[in-house]
Chains A and B, each alone.
Chain A
Amino acid sequence: MLNVSRSRTCPLECTRSERFNRSVFRWAFVRYGPIALALAGALLSYSMAQAAPSAPASLHVIDTPNDGGGSLTIVWVPAPSDGPTAQYEVLIGEGGATDPAALKVVAEFPANTRYVKEMKAAWWTRPADRSWHQYVVRSGKGVELKDGTAYTVTVAMRQGVERAVGPLLQATPEANWFNWNQLNNLILALGFGGLVFYSIRHAKRNDIFLRRIPGLDAVDEAIGRSTELGKPILYLTGAHDMSDPSTIAAAVILGRVAKRTAAYETELMVPHRDPITMAVCQEITKQAYLEAGKPDLFKEDANFFITADQFSYTAAVDGLMLRKKPAANFFMGSYFAESLLLTETGASTGAIQIAGTDSDHQLPFFVTTCDYTLIGEELYAASAYLSKEPVQIGTLRGQDIGKAIVLTIIMIGTLLATIGAVTGSSWPQLFLDLFKDLK
């Protein structure tokens, strides 16, 4: 075979070694050429397929679920040619349009971005599979979507100068009446509500142990001390207005404290930052004095307004502490930077100080400067603790059961999230989504 090839191809001037090499290449080409050609063809057709954009498949356009209207959601299956070099274009136009040229490009992004898994949606509201592409068209950037108006929408894939446009679809944005993403939130809230009312019912028929809260045990001690010293009691309801639960809790505790001060015939001073809170607290105090059988001791100006300004109020209360030298200071409700200014001044006057706040950022200051501090939920428990009413104590039991459930969920969730991260499985997400706060 070598001889044949040499005789056919090599000119007379070739050296022996050149003739040998050429013969080997020719032999290899004859023997493996067809296979190499087939492989090259396949590679060429593959690369051509890669370069040619394909129209988005399974394109769906829907009204964005669970929103206030004015938006449309588009989902489609990822194409084999997806990659950072390819681009998707979202086009939108008036309803009934049949020519893609009449549509306007409202978004353009790399083809390996914007997946359904990136959407803030739980598994029960997800519009398509997690691996699909998605885009939400909203009003703005030259487009305005009106509720009840139909629009023509499509998605095109562009690679270089080539573009493949998907089918033109019609959709109408609408406002929704329920956010199904928050279904878990609603179920949990209803469940917790049911638990609280069950616990109240249970508490009416059974005795429930209530652990000691030293801060509340000290209320009597503080009032007694003020009575002995013949000095007033200062009670603050915090920085917020009556729409805040902490202020309501502070007002409820004020009722209990006022009842004791009425019984002990001790002066009560309640400076306020909010006039509505002042009006409510006046009523609460009046009722407390009536219940204590001392309506004649009630003073309308025991509750008084100072100012809504944070530091002006602080300066006024500090002045009050230094002039009147109350023997007991109560700081209940929400506080900000004024907390330390108030409590440190109170501590310098030698008053017994009891604080109760849900402002976790101010807790260190209260713990440092007050004799007793009701931490977080203890503020809400104070009313039950002081009244000892079964209805109130039942609520505390409900809260405790709720906390035990939350703790269990956190432990299970941590375990499942770890398993999901280690194994790469998506099934733990089914459980984790149930407890996500999706707005």
Chain B
Amino acid sequence: MIFLRRRLPLLITMFTGLLFAAQYYVPHPASELLLTSATKWLQIIGGFALVLGVTSLFHQHAVKIRRQEAGWGYSLVLYAGMLVTIVVGLWAGGKESLDGTMTGFGWIYNYMMVPLQGTMFAILAFFIASAAYRSFRARSREAAVLLIAAVIVMMGRVPLGEYLIPLSGDVSQWILNVLNASVRRAILIGVSLGAIALSLKIIFGVERSYLGGGKE
């Protein structure tokens, strides 16, 4: 049992990890084919895993409705929305338009889904303003530096700002290209080394907690 639960997954991880690490160095079409096939397999497995996800979602909201928890009405809306979308989608053959005419599925997507997504994204503008207000208050030396840098960059990135303070364009470019870029690259070097080290630990079975934690 321990072989099936622990050792076999570790062996598969090690084999596939080394195989696909080697694949990166092999330009042969066979190697490309292997990568393409593996990607397709991942998509297929992902499709089947969606059943797990939808089951979890149904269960979660079924419990809410049964217990009549706060906001259980929204769970009913979710069920209704999901069922209507599935039925309309199957009816339209999964197509948004047929012979140039919008299907019910296309209508749901274009007039409900897209505006709702747009609304969520639009809220970001207000959240940026409130977050900026909080962080740009010069309460400490670091915050003051942040405030000054932010003002210069903001002025340098808009035509009016550059018109009012002509130097702000060049200074903001310098801040972005020199200070900001160097810090970003430093972070990226650290991230890359961290990701490689984690990958090595997983491939060689040093890190096993993703299998369910614990030691054998």
Interface residues of A (CB under 8 A from B): 66-69, 175-179, 182, 185-186, 189, 192-193, 196-197, 200, 241-243, 245-246, 248-249, 251-252, 255, 272, 274-276, 278-280, 283-284, 286-288, 290-291, 301, 303-312, 314-315, 319, 323, 337, 340-341, 344, 358, 360, 363, 365, 367-369, 375-377, 379-381, 383, 391-392, 395, 398-399, 402-403, 406
Contact = CB atoms under 8 A, between A and B. Distances in A.
Contacts of B209: 251-252, 255, 284, 287, 383
Interface string B179-213: 00000100111110111111111101011011111
Given A245-B198, A399-B197, A275 B52 contact: yes
Contact of A403 (B53, B134, B189): B189
A179 B27 contact: yes
Contacts of A303: 56
Given A245-B195, A252-B207, A67 B45 contact: no
A304 B56 contact: yes
A376 B188 contact: yes
Nearest to B118: A311
Given A284-B209, A383-B207, A399-B197, 12 more contacts: A177-B28, A185-B25, A252-B209, A279-B49, A287-B212, A311-B120, A340-B124, A363-B187, A368-B132, A376-B187, A376-B191, A380-B197
Contacts of A399: 190, 193-194, 197
A131 to B, nearest CB: 27
Nearest to A380: B194
B1 interface: no
A245 B135 CA distance: 30
Interface in B23-38: 24-30, 32
Given A305-B54, A368-B134, A379 B194 contact: yes
A122 B93 CA distance: 53
Interface residues of B, number: 64
Contacts of B164: none
B80 interface: no
Interface string B111-151: 00000110011011001101110110000000000000000
Contacts of B189: 403, 406
A278 B196 CA distance: 24
B42 A377 contact: no
B100 interface: no
Given A200-B206, A304-B56, A383-B209, A340 B128 contact: yes
A314 B116 CA distance: 12
A314 B120 contact: yes
Contact of B210 (A284, A306, A363): A284
Nearest to A405: B193
Contacts of A68: 27-29, 32
Contacts of B213: 255, 284, 287-288, 291
A288 B213 CA distance: 7
B44 interface: no
A214 to B, nearest CB: 15
B210 A301 contact: no
B127 to A, nearest CB: 4
B76 interface: no
Nearest to A271: B60
Nearest to A288: B213
B8 interface: no
A278 B198 contact: no
Contacts of B25: 178-179, 182, 185-186
Contacts of B46: 241, 274-276
Contacts of B191: 358, 360, 376-377, 380
A348 to B, nearest CB: 9
Contacts of B127: 340-341, 344
B157 interface: no
B26 A177 contact: yes
B28 A301 contact: no
B94 to A, nearest CB: 17
A69 B71 CA distance: 61
Contacts of B74: 319
A66 B29 CA distance: 12
A274 B187 CA distance: 27
Given A192-B196, A341-B120, A377-B194, A305 B212 contact: no
A175 B128 contact: no
Given A249-B198, A360-B187, A306 B193 contact: no
